[in-house]
């Protein structure tokens, strides 16, 4: 009995001082930031919640989603009302594929007032300049709030491309793609990547580049030691009002005031 009581007291102590691991955080509505009038600090449901230790994603004020055809039709006004401040929308892949929901998602986010940008999924069996031209051909200039995104990761499910270039080749191709988009849109894209690709490619050596890092089982400072990140993708199984099924959830690393200046 004494051991049980000691265990209960220990749990109560950890809860009172903010320690321990919270395994099922509740869904908490966003609040209004008085300085920016933005909805901040939402906490969303997750069909496969991670027991965050240390700084959790819901301690960041600015949250967003990234979407593709897999999310289907989205009620963007409901998404915005739930506290989503930004969305990265899949536009293109390789040199000949456009996401069939791109135009619908693009228009829906704009109408709802969700800040948005487009992303390109890189295909290692197609030259970088062809992929950049394909993106430019399909993503209109001057209509996006956010810089666009180059998504570089290994596609383990690809049936048509098994290439795994070395780090020097990857960085050279990325530089070409980023330079072409920066010249066209006037702002350098963000680079999205994953843990294994980051380690293999040395992509963090790219000059003047901001990063969006996937880390669903730990804070980026634990998973990517020493890396500077602008966005953190913290789950692929988020539950957001207005989206049917699971969706990727992300945070911006800084304050609402800095977000407003960054997003322009």
The CATH number assigned to the domain holding 33 equals 3.20.20.80
Rounded mean pLDDT of the chain? 91
Whether the per-residue pLDDT at 163 is higher than 50: the answer is yes
Average pLDDT over residues 84-90: 98
Whether the per-residue pLDDT at 214 is higher than 70: the answer is yes
Residue 69 binned pLDDT confidence (cut-offs 50, 70, 90): very high
Catalytic residue among 75, 153, 175, 179: 153
Residue 203 binned pLDDT confidence (cut-offs 50, 70, 90): very high
pLDDT of the residue at 7: 39
Q: Which has the closest alpha carbon to 249: 30, 29, 21, 45?
A: 45
pLDDT of the residue at 162: 87
Query: What pLDDT, in 10s, does the model give residues 227-264?
Result: 999 999 999 999 999 999 999 999 999 999 999 999 98
Distance CA 55, CA 192 (A): 21
pLDDT of the residue at 2: 37
Catalytic residue among 66, 99, 151, 204: 66
Mark whether 248 is an active-site residue: no
Q: Count Cβ atoms below 10 Å from residue 98 Cβ, excluding itself.
A: 16
- Domain extent at residue 163: 2-263
Question: What's the token pair of residue 72?
Answer: 């289907």
Q: In 18-101, where does DSSP find H-type helix? A: 76-81
Query: What pLDDT, in 10s, does the model give residues 89-123?
Result: 999 999 999 999 999 999 999 999 999 999 999 99
Total domains present in the chain:
1
The Cα-based distances of 116 to 19, 111, 144 in angstroms read 36, 11, 6
3-state secondary structure 111-127: HHCCEEEEEEECCCCCC
Mark whether 66 is an active-site residue: yes
């Amino acid at each position: 009995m004494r051991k049980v009581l000691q265990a209960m007291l220990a749990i109560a102590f950890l809860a009172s001082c903010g320690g321990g691991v919270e395994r099922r955080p509740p869904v908490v509505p966003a609040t209004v930031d008085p300085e920016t009038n933005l909805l901040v600090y939402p906490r969303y449901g997750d069909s496969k919640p991670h027991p965050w230790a240390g700084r959790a994603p819901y301690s960041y004020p600015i949250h967003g989603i990234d979407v593709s055809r897999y999310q289907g039709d989205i009620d963007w006004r409901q998404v915005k009302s739930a506290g989503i401040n930004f969305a990265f929308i899949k536009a293109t892949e390789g040199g000949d594929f456009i996401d069939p929901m791109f135009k619908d998602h693009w228009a829906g986010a704009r109408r709802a007032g969700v800040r948005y940008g487009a992303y390109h999924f890189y295909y290692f069996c197609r030259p970088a300049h062809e992929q950049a031209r394909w993106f430019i051909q399909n993503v209109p200039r001057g209509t996006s709030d956010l810089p666009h995104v180059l998504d570089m990761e290994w596609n383990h499910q690809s049936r048509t491309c098994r290439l795994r270039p070395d780090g020097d080749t990857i960085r050279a191709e990325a530089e070409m793609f980023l330079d072409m988009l920066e010249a066209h849109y006037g702002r350098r894209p963000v680079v999205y990547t994953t843990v294994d690709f980051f380690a293999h490619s040395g992509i963090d050596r790219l000059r003047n580049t901001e990063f969006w890092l996937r880390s669903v089982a730990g804070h980026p400072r634990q998973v990517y030691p020493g890396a500077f990140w602008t966005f953190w993708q913290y789950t692929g199984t988020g539950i957001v009002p207005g989206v049917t099924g699971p969706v990727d959830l992300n945070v911006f690393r800084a304050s609402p005031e800095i977000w407003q200046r960054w997003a322009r």
